[in-house]
Amino acid sequence: MSMSHLYGTDGEDGVEMENFEVSDWDLQNEFNPHRQRHRQSKEEATYGVWAERDSDEERPSFGGKRSRDYSAPVNFISAGLKKSAAEDMSEEDSDEDEKPVKQEEIPKEFVPKKLKTGGNFKPSQKGFVGGTKSFVDFGSWERHTKGIGQKLLQKMGYVPGRGLGKNAQGIINPIEAKQRKGKGAVGAYGSERTSQSLQDFPVVDSEEEAEEEFQKELSQWRKDPNGGKKKPKYSYKTVEELKAKGRISKQLSAPQKELSQVKVIDMTGREQKVYYSYSQISHKHNIPDDSPQQPLGKDSKPQGFALPELEHNLQLLIDITEQEIIQNDRQLQYERDMVVNLTHEIQKMSEVLSHEETAIGNLSKVLEMVEECERRMQPSCENPLTLDECAKIFETLQDKYYEEYRMSDRVDLAVAIVYPLMKDYFKNWDPLKDCTYGTEIIAKWKSLLENDDLLSHSGQDLSTDAFHRLMWEIWMPYVRNIVAQWQPRNCGSMVDFLDSWVNVIPVWILDNILDQLIFPKLQKEVESWNPLTDTVPIHSWIHPWLPLMQARLEPLYSPIRNKLANALQKWHPSDSSAKLILQPWKDVFTPGSWEAFMVKNIVPKLGMCLNELIINPHQQHMDAFYWVIDWEGMISVSSLVGLLEKHFFPKWLQVLCSWLSNSPNYEEITKWYLGWKSMFSDQVLAHPSIKDKFNEALDIMNRAVSSSVGGYMQPGARENIAYLTHTERRKDFQYEAMQERREAENMAQRGIGMAASSVPMNFKDLIQTKAEEHNIVFMPVIGKRHEGKQLYTFGRIVIYIDRGVVFVQGEKTWVPTSLQSLIDMAK
């Protein structure tokens, strides 16, 4: 077969040449490569572009033809030697041989066979079957080079004599080529596989399988000679598929159920069909129908077997069977779930049953113990129950049967059993004589009966706490009787009694005793107290109550101060008994009230005493001065300095000046100066006003020494006065330096303490930090609140904190104050 229709011919000899130029036809059909190529006619093959064509056969052109340059020289192509007639005949025979052979005429042995590349060949094979023997001269060309290729391959793990690849699966020998007999298509002359290819890629041994596959592929291109219909295809559903479909499908909601009852008319097929739900449409094509029936024509034959009613009934039976299978599967799954659920319920009920049996057994034992207590409490019992034995029984109940003990009504149980025993236990008790009697047994009953849930004891709840009810109904009547007979001036026994019971009785009962029983008795006794006639000091029977009552005694202080002020109206500083009476109250009264009391009642008396003092260097009487100086610790330093500036130093400096003007003995003046200075304490001398007064005296003496130049001067007087002045100034400087050093050390220690301590988290922590810095006691008042806020003692001041503000207790109301003012008041 000639290839001239593909490549074209050139010249008269018909030598075939392949034309690689892009022609107009290629441009027109570049998007349609499968278009049938125009077959070249004999005239076109002979004359080429000069051949004549019909107008109908001309191809459409998108551009003009390329014009040839006929002025260029002629190019001749060698066509070889002219052949003889015999050779031409042989070529024609060979052309006939090159004609394509029909597939039916191909011998069976030349049919391509199926390769076993998928089954027998694996990438993990170490080598090909046909590649075990390599050529001797393979790679011999490297002898003419430096062998860089072989070196690179060996660096990457190549082993000479084995194939390439991770598992050495590459071939070793080069691919062999097999010469084809003629110019026919591939496979036209039989198998073209080499012996090496057959060894590396073996074919399937079964020729029948290859023949069947070939006939099957061949039948797809043929028309059925019988002209029969294709067999209908059926789809089959297994029971498992139906079950899976039933599990996946969800229950329809209410709106979907309404839509499921809608009547649907399907007119998409050749017949009109009526469905009663949309779900039936989804089952429309589950079983494919036969090929569509053709309408009956003249030459067509009617169907011999058509029973639509039977088909409908069969389809209906199939649908019903499917629904029954799905429903049965769902019912089976439901029953299995029910079995699992009931199994868990049985386990839970068994656990509950065992727990209930245990609880019943414990309750029966508790009931036996309670009945035993009731039996032993009968008057006719030979072995009556004691309070200690009853406490042991309750301890057993609490330790071994804790849950039952907590669930039981402890109030009723204690009322029935413990209260009679408690009354019998305290019937002969005198609290003032034996204040610790019963504290241990009551503390034990507190741990047994007190309700742990009632953490706050600020209020009483007798219905829920058996211990509180026990103390209020049994213990409290004895206390009321003894307080009614108690004399407030004999406070020691009552204070000891309450101190021993303060950690046992509830807080609200203690508050009731102090507020309702003790305080009225003290208030009445204070009103009847007379400081001029009573020989027993009032602080001896008021101050012992301070640890217990603290701020509760504040209302008593005002009448006490008024009575003391009345008693001091005719007092003289020479009477030292006033100091003995007032000194215990200094730390009890608030700083402001104490200072006001001193300024009003004591300081004027001391000032009058200093006015009466006569300063005489030759015969000095110091009694009046001593009476004033004895009050130094009682009155403030500022008040004492004010008294000295007003009533003492003017007279003292006047006496010094008059003495210096009469030719004095400077040694006596120096001794007199140092003697008066030694009468004052360091705290008074450190005051700036006192320093100024003594420095003024030194200046007067220096001026007196320096002014008497022409007159008689005692030998060494000037030097002595200068030395005295220098010594006194140096002492003042050293004292100031020492004070500064102490303040610096205190600040350093305070800074270390503040750095070591954590940053205050709230305002209360800040107040506590400031109290520690200034050595002030800051602690909560037990059981005392104001408008729900906890009360605190800051030194001797009662305060409470509300939203970052400190409120200080005044005479009538609570007054807000700053932190610095609070510190000053506490000092």
Q: Are the C-beta atoms of residues 329 and 246 closer than 8 Å to each other?
A: yes
Range among 125-139, 409-423, 458-472, 685-699 rated most confident: 685-699
- pLDDT over 80 (residue 152): yes
Domains of the chain by residue range? 763-825
DSSP-derived pairing of the beta strands 797-802 and 805-809: antiparallel
DSSP-derived pairing of the beta strands 273-275 and 778-786: unpaired
Q: Are the C-beta atoms of residues 164 and 158 closer than 8 Å to each other?
A: yes
- The whole-model pTM stands at 0.48
Please name which of 782, 785, 781 lies closest in space to residue 802, comparing C-alpha atoms. 785
- Output the pLDDT for position 350: 94
3-state helix, strand, coil in the chain (%, to 5): 55, 5, 40
> What is the band of 313 on the pLDDT scale with cuts at 50, 70, 90?
very high
Please name which of 661, 670, 674, 666 lies closest in space to residue 715, comparing C-alpha atoms. 666
User: Which amino acid makes up residue 245?
Assistant: K
Give, to the nearest 10 degrees, the angle between helix 387-400 and helix 410-425.
Answer: 160
Least confident of 171-175, 230-234, 452-456, 763-767: 452-456
pLDDT (tens digit, 9 = 90+) per residue, 51-96?
776 544 445 444 444 555 556 565 555 544 444 545 555 554 545 4
537 CB burial (10 A radius; 0-12, 13-18, 19+)? middle
Structure tokens at 76: 């001749």
- The residues, ordered by sequence, that sit 6+ positions from 347 with a Cβ below 8 Å of its Cβ are none
Please name which of 635, 553, 560 lies closest in space to residue 591, comparing C-alpha atoms. 635
- Output the pLDDT for position 340: 95
**What single-letter DSSP state applies at residue 203?**
B
Percentage of residues of the chain with pLDDT beyond 70: 70
Q: What is the DSSP string of 671-734?
A: HHHHHHHHTS-HHHHTSHHHHHHHHHHHHHHHHHHHH-SSS---TTHHHHHHHHHHHHHHHHHH
Please name which of 463, 545, 454 lies closest in space to residue 502, comparing C-alpha atoms. 545
Mean pLDDT computed over 192-210: 71
> What is the band of 463 on the pLDDT scale with cuts at 50, 70, 90?
low
pLDDT (tens digit, 9 = 90+) per residue, 605-616?
888 888 888 888
- Output the pLDDT for position 125: 41
Mean pLDDT computed over 499-514: 89
Q: Are the C-beta atoms of residues 201 and 121 closer than 8 Å to each other?
A: yes
Structure tokens at 319: 């649908």
Please name which of 134, 133, 139, 132 lies closest in space to residue 153, comparing C-alpha atoms. 139
How far apart CA 637 and CA 690 sit, in angstroms, is 11
Taking CA atoms, 636 is separated from 216, 594, 598, 776, in Å, by: 129, 10, 9, 19
- Output the pLDDT for position 33: 64
pLDDT (tens digit, 9 = 90+) per residue, 522-576?
999 999 988 888 888 888 898 889 888 888 888 899 999 999 889 888 888 888 8
